A and B are shown apart, each in its own frame.
Chain A
Amino acid sequence: MNKELKLPRAQWIKALSQIKRQDLIEQVQTLAKDWFIKPISPPQSGLGVLKMKESTMSEAFFLGEFPLSSVGIEVSTPGGAMAQGAANIMHDDVKYAEALAICDAVLAGKLDGFDEIAALLTQGLSIFEENESARKKILSSTRVDFSLLEDAIGPHDHNTTNNVAKDI
């Protein structure tokens, strides 16, 4: 397989996270069972918030709470190859984020197992595109055309509005 990917790295985790969690973890565990994997930032899971500043006093506040897991790793294979990978996912699941971070490292460093992970990436991307096209269909079928409201307003409605304005 050609080891160049068309999909930019920023999209890899989005595509790979379409694969069933258990399938992805099992495949990565088999692939990385003899690898040495160390963290480059502390693996964390919990609730994330967005730190923002309000516009009047410029005081910081935290917006919302969402589940977040974050993993950054460095992978060394028995063959001596090394690569770094990372994943931030909106799930409270470090194990899943770790599997995705390993996939990221494999693809970025073109490590052993590149072909398997690239196949998962392609599969994930097609699932994502299918979901996206279904979503677009639903959105278009529920679209409301507000321009039709103009036709619904008759001359009587306009008079009523003018009378109210005069009374005020």
Chain B
Amino acid sequence: MLHVESVWLPKLQQQNYRHLLNAMSRPGSQNQIIHGVSDEYKFDYGFLPLLATLVDTQVSVSDPESLLKESEWKMLQTSKTEISNADFIIAIGQKPICEEPKLGALSHPEQSATVFLCVTKIGEGGLTIKLTGPGVNGMNTLKVRGLNEAWLERRNEWCASFPLGIDMFLCDRDSFIALPRTTRVEVM
């Protein structure tokens, strides 16, 4: 009778959670986004299965570019808020945000924002970034299409006073990488 898309079901979310953990442990490693069976949720950006895995009623989400549909907000069961208060932010790689997200406090660095940044393609494109830091074996270089350099400049400013900062995921349609606050990112 009732048809529930697999993106909202625990089985798929558990698989994506495993990939999120792997991505955070190995910054810059490209991980697959597992979509539902239906094509309805396989649109230009693949962040929705990851977001559905992480958010619930206890956290808030900011969507300044209105990437989420009203029906998806209801299924996520989370609250909308502005960038400065959001636990999760969804943004577009070509449009950097001006406002500062939550960076946490020294006593509670975990009370900071996680940013899902939608890019055109990971693994190809004109922008090459160099990653170093914990979880990276020496150095990792990566090409990205559809990412404005200003995003990385701001991200580096926000993450300059560790343990304060943000954690970031770059997502294209089918894959994603993590840039935790401990990772040093340089544009080559």
Contacts and interface: CB of A to CB of B under 8 A. Distances in A.
A41 B2 contact: no
B1 interface: yes
A85 to B, nearest CB: 11
A41 B3 contact: no
A5 B75 CA distance: 30
A29 B2 CA distance: 11
Nearest to B56: A42
A40 B69 CA distance: 12
A32 B74 contact: no
Q: How large is the interface on A (under 10, 10 to 19, 20 to 34, 35 or more residues)?
A: 10 to 19
A104 interface: no
Interface in A71-87: 71-73
A32 B1 contact: yes
B8 interface: yes
A98 B2 contact: yes
A37 B1 contact: yes
Q: Is the interface of A mostly helix, strand, loop or mixed?
A: strand
Q: Is the interface of B mostly helix, strand, loop or mixed?
A: mixed
Contacts, number: 33
Interface string B20-62: 0000000000000000000000000000000000000000000
A41 B75 contact: yes
B66 interface: no
B75 A43 contact: no
B14 interface: no
A2 B60 CA distance: 45
B2 A39 contact: yes
B77 A41 contact: yes
Contacts of B4: 38-39, 42-43
B77 A36 contact: no
A98 B71 contact: no
A121 B2 CA distance: 22
Centre residue among B2, B4, B8, B77 by max chain A CB count within 10 A = B2
Interface of A: 29, 32-33, 35-43, 71-73, 98, 102
Interface of B: 1-4, 8, 71, 74-75, 77
23 contacts: A32-B1, A33-B1, A35-B1, A36-B3, A38-B2, A38-B4, A39-B2, A39-B4, A39-B75, A40-B71, A40-B75, A41-B74, A41-B77, A42-B4, A42-B8, A42-B75, A43-B2, A43-B4, A72-B74, A73-B2, A98-B1, A98-B2, A102-B1
